[in-house]
C-alpha cells in the first residue's frame, strides 16, 4: 500500500509543476518531530511562519550542510517523508548550498502543493571533520555539559573497538584506517576521557570511560570508515556487472541517473571502485516496460569523486530505465591520469580477495595488450616500471605468459615467481580507445556500435545501408568482415546519426550530429567467431575452419561427424546440418586442426566439445558443411504455421515482407514453403491485399523476387531499407494441416496396453480408436485406414471438436494389424489432407498366467529346482495354484499327467485368488507332471489360463538314505587307503634302485651326495663305514 501511495504522490507532484520566485532570506531553521533537536522534518521560518521544505534534488551530502549548520554533527540519514495532507512548501535550492552560500540565503518560495518533505537525522554528539567523505576525518566529540563544545580526541585514548562504535553510529561501514594526525593536528579543547568500548555499543558516549588529563602522543584521532554495504550490481554475469541497486530501510530499489547526458564512464568508475570491482569498462541503461519507483543518483556529484551514497537523491522517483554498469572485476589501474593509465593491480582469486601489485619483470607487451583490451582501452602505448608509483604490498607471485588474444588477464597462462628483482611495479598507459567500438557482446568484435566524440561515447542510430557501415567498422577494428548486423531497441536517448550514403573511406564522415533515437546497431564481425564456413554459397555453407591463436585451421573430415556438425550449425545460427561431405567446398589448406572432435550434439560451441589428439588425416579431405539456414522466416495470421502473411527477421526484428518488384509468383512462394518445411505452394494461393487509399502503412522488409526465384537463400534476398507499406502478401502451402494423432480410447469393458504407437487389446474385448487433430480450422472429417476392412463398418466420420471415435467389438484375429487416421478439410477453396503415424494393434489373453508351487508337511523332506519337485517316499505334500488379483471368483483345475494314458484332474474354487491341493503318503502313483488351469467367466465369456508344468519325482525314505550314506563313506575310506599304499611302494622302489646303481659302478658318492644317500637308503647298510671311507680316501 505504501508503494502505491508513493507512486501516486510522485505522479501527482510531477503533473503540477510549480513556479519559483526570487531567493528570500530564512529567519531560522529546525528539525521537528524527531527524538532530539538533531532529528526530524526540516522546516524553515520566514516572516514568523514555519514551513516544511520540499525535498526535490536533495542528497545526503546537502543534508550534511543542515546538520553542521545546526551544530548537530554529521548527517546519518536523509529521506523523503510522505504526508497525508498538503500545505504550501518552501524550497532550499541545492545549487545554492553547493556553492557554500549562507544557508539563510538559499530559500526559494514555491506556490505549489507538495506531498513529501525532507526528514534528516544527524549524529548529534560525534562527527568526523576535514575528511574526504562523510565517513572519514578527524574525530570530534561533543560533551553533554552546558558548554556543548566539540573536542578533539587523543589517539592514546582510542582503539579499534572504539572506532567500530563510531563507524556504526555514523551509519558507515567497519573501520579501515585508524591513525593519529591522519586528518590534521590536535585542536583545543581536548577530550579528557579514555574510551573503553567493547564494540557492541550503539553510541560512543554509551561506552565506559576513565579520566585522563594528558595526551602523550599529542596526536588527534584520524579515522576512515569503509562505506556501508548498501549497493550491489544484480542480474549480470557476476557481482561486478549488472543493474545498480541501493538498499535503504531494508529495501532494495534500482538506481537511475538524474541526467543521462552527464553520465559517463568516469562516474561509473566510482561505483566500481566502491564495490571493489576494479575499473568501469562500460555503462548504459536497461529499458523497463513500466514506470518503477527508483533511487536517483546525481551524475555531477559522482564525478567530483564523492562517495556513492552521498550522491543518491533523497526523494523517490519514477523511471523507465535502470542503470547498468560492467566493471573489470579482477584488474585495475590506480594513480593514473585517466581510466586507461596507472599502476597495475590484480585481485587474487583466493578467499582474501586482495589487490596485489604486479612486478614489471613478470609483465610484458603481450600481457599489456590483454589488460588494455579488458579495460576497454586502446593498444598499450607505454609500459614502464614505477611509472605510476612504487611497489605496494602485497605483490603478486605469478609471471603472466599471455599470447595477446585472451579476453582476460587471468585467462592467461602463468608460472610461479617468489621474487621481484627490479623491485618496480608495472606501470601501464593504454591509448585512448578509437573512434568506434562494439560493446556488450562476447568480444571486442561483437556488440552494439558506439562512436566517441569529445571524450563521450554514444550509440549509433540505425538507418538504411548499414551493411556497408558494418563492414567499415569491422575493418577499422581489425575484426575481419561483417558477419551479421541486427537492430536493437533502446530507450529514447541521444545518439549519433548516420548519413544515408555511407560510401567514404573515412568512418567519421558517416556520422552526423546528435539525434534522439530508439534503435541502435549491433554488429558481429567475422573475427569474433571461433568457427566459420568459407568458399560456400552462403554464410551457412562452406569449408569448415576453426580459429586458434589468431589463425584459422582447416578440419579433417575424418575428425568431424554429424553431431559435431549440429553444434557448428547451431553456433552459426544456421539451423540443422543438411550436407556433410569431405572436399565439398575445396581442398585442405594448411594449417590443419590437430584434434578429433567428440561432440554430443547439445553443446553451444564447437570448442566446448570434448576432443582427442589426431595428428594425421587419412582421407586428406577438408570437412565441407551445408546447414539448412537460420530460423528467420515465418507465416503468421492463420491457425496453421504453413499459411498466412510472410514475416522475416532482420536485425533481430520481425516485419512483414513485401516484394520489391511486385513480381512474386508461385516459384517465389515455393521457396518460402520449402524453407518452412511446409511442402510446396498451393496454386493460386498467394496474393496481395491492401494498398487501397487510406490504408495504414507499417514498417516492412523488401524482398527481391527474382533473387528468390534464382534459388538463392531467402535471407540473402532481403534489403536493409527502412520501408513502410500498406500492401500485404499472403501464402498458402500444401502441408497446411497439422498431422493428426491416432490413439486408443477404450470402451468400459476393454483392457488394453499402449506403448510407442503400439496397442495390445485383450481377446474378445471391445475397443475404440480415436483420431484427433490440433485445432486449426473448423469442420473436416476423419477416415480410418484399417488392416481388414469390414463392409458393415463405417470408417469415415465427421470431425466433432476436432476428433472422431471408431468403435470395435469382440476383438479377434481380424483386428490385428496397422491403423492410420487421415484428416480431410476443404479450406481456401482447395482440398487438404494430412495422415497420422501408424498404430500397430496386437491381441492378448485376458487372464494372467497362474503360478504353481508346492509345500511339504513336518514328516516330509523335499527339494526342488526349476519347476522340478522331489518328494520323499511316504511323505505328505501340497501343490498350490495362484493367480494375480484381476477379477473375483473363478476356479482352479489341477491336471496330473503320468506315464499311464489316463489323465487325472482335481478342481477347487479360487479363494483369495488361490487353491491348495493336499496329497498324503507319496508313492509311485504321484510321479509325473502337474499343471494349474485358472477358469473365469467375465464379460459374458469363459476365459482360462494355464500355468507352466511342475515335475514330481520320488526319493527313498530317511532310513534308506542313511544306510546308503554309510556305505558311500566306507567305500571312500577304502579307496584313499589303496592310493596311499601305492605311493609309498613307488618311493621305496625308487630309492633302492638308486642305491644299487651307485654300488654297481664302484663309486663313492661325494660328501654332499653322501648325506642325501644316507637319508634316503642308509649308507651303512649298503657299503659299511670302512669301505665308504677307503673309497673316499683313494
All three cell numbers of 819? 491403423
Q: What pLDDT does residue 633 have? A: 82
Calpha distance 17→502 (Å, rounded): 44
**Position 511 pLDDT exceeds 80:** no
For residues 696-704, average pLDDT: 76
Q: Which residue has the higher pLDDT, 148 or 614?
A: 614
CA-closest candidate to residue 215, choices 238, 235, 188: 188
Q: What pLDDT does residue 388 have? A: 87
Count how many residues are written for the chain: 1034
User: Which segment, 12-16, 62-66, 984-988, is predicted with the most confidence on average?
Assistant: 62-66
Residues 181-220 have pLDDT tens digits of 888 888 888 888 888 888 888 888 888 888 877 887 888 8
Helix, strand or coil, per DSSP, at residue 108: strand
Q: What pLDDT does residue 125 have? A: 87
Residues 1-32 have pLDDT tens digits of 344 334 434 433 433 333 233 345 667 888 88
Cite the DSSP H helix spans in 375-477: 466-476
Q: Please, which pLDDT band fits residue 1027 given cuts at 50, 70 and 90?
A: very low
Q: What pLDDT does residue 1 have? A: 39
Which of 28-32, 213-217, 227-231, 431-435 shows the lowest per-residue confidence on average (mean pLDDT)? 431-435
Which of 480-484, 678-682, 861-865 shows the lowest per-residue confidence on average (mean pLDDT)? 861-865
Q: Which residue has the higher pLDDT, 131 or 675?
A: 131
Q: Are the CB atoms for 236 and 175 separated by under 8 Å?
A: no
Q: What pLDDT does residue 640 have? A: 85
CA-closest candidate to residue 469, choices 449, 488, 455: 449
Q: What pLDDT does residue 16 have? A: 30
Q: Which residue has the higher pLDDT, 295 or 243?
A: 243
Distances (CA, A) of 471 to 290, 391, 479, 703, 985: 36, 44, 9, 22, 106
Average pLDDT taken over every residue of the chain? 76
**Position 892 pLDDT exceeds 90:** yes
CB atoms within 10 A of CB 898: 15
Residues 932-978 have pLDDT tens digits of 999 988 777 778 888 989 888 888 765 555 555 455 555 556 667 77
Q: Are the CB atoms for 802 and 818 separated by under 8 Å?
A: no
Q: What pLDDT does residue 405 have? A: 81
For residues 71-86, average pLDDT: 75
Residues 564-586 have pLDDT tens digits of 998 988 887 777 888 888 888 88
For residues 61-86, average pLDDT: 79
Specify which residues 78 forms β-bridges with: 120
Q: What pLDDT does residue 538 have? A: 67
Q: What pLDDT does residue 1006 have? A: 43
Helix, strand or coil, per DSSP, at residue 742: strand
Which of 57-71, 514-528, 821-835, 896-910 shows the lowest per-residue confidence on average (mean pLDDT)? 514-528
Calpha distance 532→626 (Å, rounded): 12
Q: What pLDDT does residue 92 have? A: 61
φ and ψ at residue 852, rounded to 5 degrees: -120, 135
Cα 699 to the chain's mean position, in Å? 35
Which of 366-380, 409-423, 521-535, 732-746 shows the lowest per-residue confidence on average (mean pLDDT)? 521-535
**Position 691 pLDDT exceeds 50:** no
**Long-range contact list for 602-605, CB < 8 A, 24+ apart?**
603/567, 604/567, 604/570, 604/571, 605/530, 605/531, 605/567, 605/571
Q: What pLDDT does residue 781 have? A: 94
For residues 315-342, average pLDDT: 83
Q: What pLDDT does residue 187 have? A: 83
CB atoms within 10 A of CB 486: 18
CA-closest candidate to residue 425, choices 332, 523, 534, 487: 332
Calpha distance 146→990 (Å, rounded): 129
Domains and CATH numbers, the chain: 2-122 (3.10.250.10), 126-225 (3.10.250.10), 231-327 (3.10.250.10), 331-430 (3.10.250.10), 436-528 (3.10.250.10), 531-627 (3.10.250.10), 633-732 (3.10.250.10), 741-844 (2.60.40.10), 851-956 (2.60.40.10), 977-1034 (no CATH)
Question: ∠ CA 77-81-85 to the nearest 5 degrees?
Answer: 165
Q: What pLDDT does residue 499 have? A: 55
Q: What pLDDT does residue 713 have? A: 58
Q: Please, which pLDDT band fits residue 422 given cuts at 50, 70 and 90?
A: confident
Q: Are the CB atoms for 676 and 641 separated by under 8 Å?
A: yes
Amino acid at each position: 500500500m505504501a508503494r502505491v501511495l508513493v507512486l501516486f504522490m510522485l505522479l501527482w507532484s510531477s503533473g503540477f509543476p510549480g513556479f519559483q520566485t526570487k531567493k528570500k532570506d530564512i529567519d531560522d531553521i529546525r528539525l521537528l518531530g524527531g527524538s532530539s533537536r538533531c532529528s526530524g522534518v526540516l522546516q524553515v521560518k520566514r516572516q514568523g511562519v514555519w514551513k516544511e521544505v520540499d525535498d526535490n534534488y536533495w542528497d545526503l551530502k546537502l543534508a550534511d550542510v543542515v546538520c553542521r549548520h545546526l551544530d548537530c554533527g554529521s548527517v546519518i540519514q536523509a529521506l523523503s517523508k510522505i504526508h497525508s495532507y498538503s500545505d504550501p512548501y518552501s524550497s532550499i535550492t541545492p545549487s545554492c548550498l553547493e556553492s557554500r552560500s549562507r544557508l539563510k540565503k538559499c530559500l526559494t518560495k514555491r506556490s505549489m502543493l507538495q506531498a513529501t518533505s525532507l526528514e534528516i537525522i544527524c549524529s548529534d554528539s560525534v562527527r568526523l571533520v576535514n575528511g574526504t567523505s562523510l565517513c572519514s576525518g578527524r574525530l570530534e566529540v561533543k560533551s553533554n555539559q552546558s558548554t556543548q563544545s566539540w573536542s578533539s580526541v587523543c589517539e592514546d585514548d582510542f582503539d579499534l573497538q572504539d572506532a567500530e562504535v563510531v563507524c556504526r553510529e555514523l551509519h558507515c561501514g567497519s573501520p579501515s584506517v585508524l591513525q593519529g594526525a591522519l586528518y590534521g593536528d590536535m585542536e583545543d579543547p581536548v577530550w579528557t576521557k579514555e574510551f573503553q568500548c567493547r564494540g557492541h555499543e550503539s553510541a560512543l558516549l554509551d561506552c565506559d570511560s576513565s579520566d585522563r588529563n594528558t595526551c602523550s602522543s599529542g596526536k588527534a584521532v584520524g579515522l576512515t570508515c569503509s562505506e556501508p554495504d548498501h549497493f550491489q550490481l544484480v542480474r549480470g554475469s557476476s557481482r561486478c556487472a549488472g543493474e545498480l541497486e541501493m538498499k535503504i530501510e531494508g529495501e532494495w530499489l534500482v538506481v537511475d541517473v538524474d541526467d543521462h547526458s552527464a553520465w559517463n564512464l568516469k562516474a561509473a568508475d566510482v561505483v566500481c571502485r566502491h564495490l571493489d570491482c576494479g575499473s568501469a569498462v562500460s555503462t548504459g541503461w536497461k529499458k523497463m516496460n513500466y514506470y518503477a519507483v527508483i533511487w536517483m543518483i546525481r551524475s555531477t556529484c559522482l564525478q567530483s569523486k564523492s562517495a556513492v551514497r552521498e550522491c543518491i537523491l533523497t526523494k523517490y522517483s519514477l523511471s523507465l530505465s535502470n542503470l547498468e554498469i560492467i566493471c573489470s572485476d579482477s584488474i585495475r589501474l590506480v594513480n593514473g591520469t585517466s581510466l586507461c593509465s596507472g599502476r597495475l593491480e590484480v585481485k587474487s582469486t583466493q578467499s582474501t580477495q586482495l589487490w596485489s601489485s604486479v612486478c614489471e619483470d613478470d609483465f610484458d607487451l603481450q600481457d599489456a595488450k590483454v589488460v588494455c583490451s579488458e579495460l576497454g582501452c586502446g593498444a598499450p602505448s607505454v609500459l614502464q616500471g614505477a611509472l605510476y608509483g612504487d611497489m605496494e604490498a602485497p605483490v603478486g607471485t605469478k609471471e603472466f605468459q599471455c599470447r595477446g588474444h585472451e579476453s582476460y588477464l587471468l585467462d592467461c597462462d602463468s608460472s610461479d615467481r617468489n621474487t621481484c628483482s627490479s623491485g618496480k611495479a608495472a606501470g601501464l598507459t593504454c591509448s585512448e580507445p578509437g573512434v568506434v567500438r562494439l560493446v556488450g557482446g562476447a568480444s571486442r568484435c561483437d556488440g552494439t556500435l558506439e562512436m566517441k566524440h569529445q571524450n563521450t561515447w554514444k550509440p549509433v542510430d540505425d538507418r538504411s545501408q548499414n551493411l556497408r557501415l558494418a563492414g567499415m567498422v569491422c575493418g577499422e577494428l581489425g575484426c575481419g568482415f561483417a558477419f551479421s548486423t541486427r537492430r536493437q531497441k533502446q530507450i529514447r536517448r541521444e545518439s549519433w546519426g548516420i548519413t544515408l550514403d555511407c560510401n567514404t573511406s573515412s568512418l567519421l564522415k558517416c556520422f552526423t550530429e546528435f539525434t534522439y533515437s530508439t534503435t541502435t546497431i549491433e554488429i558481429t564481425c567475422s573475427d569474433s567467431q571461433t568457427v566459420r564456413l568459407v568458399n560456400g554459397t552462403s554464410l551457412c555453407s562452406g569449408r569448415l575452419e576453426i580459429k586458434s591463436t589468431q589463425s584459422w585451421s582447416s578440419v579433417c573430415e575424418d575428425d568431424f561427424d554429424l553431431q559435431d556438425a549440429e553444434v557448428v550449425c547451431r553456433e552459426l545460427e544456421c539451423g540443422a546440418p543438411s550436407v556433410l561431405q569431405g572436399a565439398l567446398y575445396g581442398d585442405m589448406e594448411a594449417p590443419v586442426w590437430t584434434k578429433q572432435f567428440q561432440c554430443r550434439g547439445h553443446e553451444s560451441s564447437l570448442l566446448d566439445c570434448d576432443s582427442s589428439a589426431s595428428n594425421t588425416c587419412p582421407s586428406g579431405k577438408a570437412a565441407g558443411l551445408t546447414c539448412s539456414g537460420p530460423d528467420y522466416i515465418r507465416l503468421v495470421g492463420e491457425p496453421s504455421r504453413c499459411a498466412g502473411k510472410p514475416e522475416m527477421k532482420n536485425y533481430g526484428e520481425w516485419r512483414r515482407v513485401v516484394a520489391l518488384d511486385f513480381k512474386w509468383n508461385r516459384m517465389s512462394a515455393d521457396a518460402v514453403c520449402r524453407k518452412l518445411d511446409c511442402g510446396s505452394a498451393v496454386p493460386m494461393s498467394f496474393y496481395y491485399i491492401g494498398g487501397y487509399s487510406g490504408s495504414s502503412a507499417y514498417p516492412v522488409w523488401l524482398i527481391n523476387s527474382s533473387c528468390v526465384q534464382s534459388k538463392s537463400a531467402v535471407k540473402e534476398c532481403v534489403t536493409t531499407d527502412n520501408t513502410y507499406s500498406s500492401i500485404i502478401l499472403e501464402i498458402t502451402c500444401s502441408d497446411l494441416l497439422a498431422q493428426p494423432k491416432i490413439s486408443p480410447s477404450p470402451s468400459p469393458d476393454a483392457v488394453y496396453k499402449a506403448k510407442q504407437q503400439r496397442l495390445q487389446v485383450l481377446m474378445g474385448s471391445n475397443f475404440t480408436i480415436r483420431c484427433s487433430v490440433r485445432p486449426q480450422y473448423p469442420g473436416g472429417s476423419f477416415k480410418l485406414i484399417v488392416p481388414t476392412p469390414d463392409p458393415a463398418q463405417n470408417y469415415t466420420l465427421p470431425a466433432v471438436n476436432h476428433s472422431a471415435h471408431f468403435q470395435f467389438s469382440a476383438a479377434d484375429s481380424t483386428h490385428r494389424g496397422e491403423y492410420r487416421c487421415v484428416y480431410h478439410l476443404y479450406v481456401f477453396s482447395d482440398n487438404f489432407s494430412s495422415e497420422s503415424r501408424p498404430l500397430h494393434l496386437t491381441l492378448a489373453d485376458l487372464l494372467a498366467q497362474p503360478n504353481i508351487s508346492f509345500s511339504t508337511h513336518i514328516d516330509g523332506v523335499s527339494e526342488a529346482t526349476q519347476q522340478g519337485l522331489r518328494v520323499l517316499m511316504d511323505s505328505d505334500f501340497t501343490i498350490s495354484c495362484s493367480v494375480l488379483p484381476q477379477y473375483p471368483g473363478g476356479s482352479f483345475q489341477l491336471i496330473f499327467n503320468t506315464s499311464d494314458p489316463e489323465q487325472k484332474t482335481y478342481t477347487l474354487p479360487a479363494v483369495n485368488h488361490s487353491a491348495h491341493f493336499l496329497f498324503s503318503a507319496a508313492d509311485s502313483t504321484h510321479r509325473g507332471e502337474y499343471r494349474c488351469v485358472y477358469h473365469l467367466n467375465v464379460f459374458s465369456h469363459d476365459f482360462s489360463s494355464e500355468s507352466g508344468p511342475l515335475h514330481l519325482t520320488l526319493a527313498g525314505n530317511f532310513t534308506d538314505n542313511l544306510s546308503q550314506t554309510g556305505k558311500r563313506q566306507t567305500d571312500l575310506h577304502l579307496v584313499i587307503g589303496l592310493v596311499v599304499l601305492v605311493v609309498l611302494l613307488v618311493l621305496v622302489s625308487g630309492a633302492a634302485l638308486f642305491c644299487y646303481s651307485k654300488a654297481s659302478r664302484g663309486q663313492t658318492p661325494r660328501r654332499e651326495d653322501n648325506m642325501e644317500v644316507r637319508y634316503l637308503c642308509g649308507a651303512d647298510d649298503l657299503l659299511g663305514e670302512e669301505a665308504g671311507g677307503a673309497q673316499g680316501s683313494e
